[in-house]
C-alpha cells in the first residue's frame, strides 16, 4: 500500500502514557479509518483493507470499540420488526392450516 508521510502534532502529556511512535501511528490510522467508516465514507471491506486486517477482524474491532456495524434509524427498526411480525404470523397461519389438513401428523 502506498503511504504518505506528514507531521502530526500530539500534546506532550499524551506521550506520558508510554506509547511509542509506532503505537501512536497505529492508533491515529485506526481512528481515522473508524471515523471514515462511521461517517459512511468507506465500506467495512475498504476499512479492513486500510487497516491490513480481514473484514471479520474489522467487525470484531468495531465491537471492541463499541461501534455499531449497522446503524438503523428508528423508522428502519420499526419496519424490520413489522416485517418479522408479519412473517411470523404467516408462518403460524401456514402451520395451523397444515395441521388442520393432517399434513404434520404421523398416523399409525
Query: Whole-prediction pTM value?
Result: 0.63
Environment class of 18 (CB within 10 Å of its CB; exposed 0-12, middle 13-18, buried 19+)? exposed
Given pLDDT bands bounded at 50, 70 and 90, which one contains residue 20? confident
pLDDT digits (tens, 9 = 90+) for 49-82: 999 999 999 999 999 999 988 767 788 788 888 8
The domain spans of the chain are 1-70, 71-101
Name the more confident of 91 and 28: 28
d(CA 46, CA 33): 9
User: What is the average pLDDT value for the chain, to the nearest integer?
Assistant: 86
Cβ 45 vs Cβ 20: under 8 Å = no
d(CA 65, CA 53): 16
Amino acid at each position: 500500500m502506498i503511504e504518505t508521510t506528514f507531521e502530526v502534532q500530539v500534546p506532550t502529556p499524551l506521550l506520558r502514557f508510554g506509547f511509542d511512535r509506532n503505537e501512536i501511528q497505529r492508533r491515529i490510522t485506526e481512528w481515522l479509518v473508524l471515523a471514515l467508516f462511521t461517517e459512511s465514507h468507506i465500506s467495512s471491506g475498504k476499512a479492513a483493507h486500510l487497516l491490513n486486517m480481514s473484514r471479520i477482524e474489522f467487525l470484531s474491532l468495531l465491537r471492541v470499540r463499541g461501534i455499531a456495524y449497522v446503524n438503523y434509524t428508528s423508522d428502519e427498526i420499526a419496519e424490520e420488526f413489522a416485517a418479522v411480525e408479519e412473517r411470523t404470523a404467516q408462518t403460524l397461519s401456514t402451520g395451523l392450516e397444515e395441521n388442520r389438513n393432517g399434513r404434520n401428523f404421523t398416523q399409525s
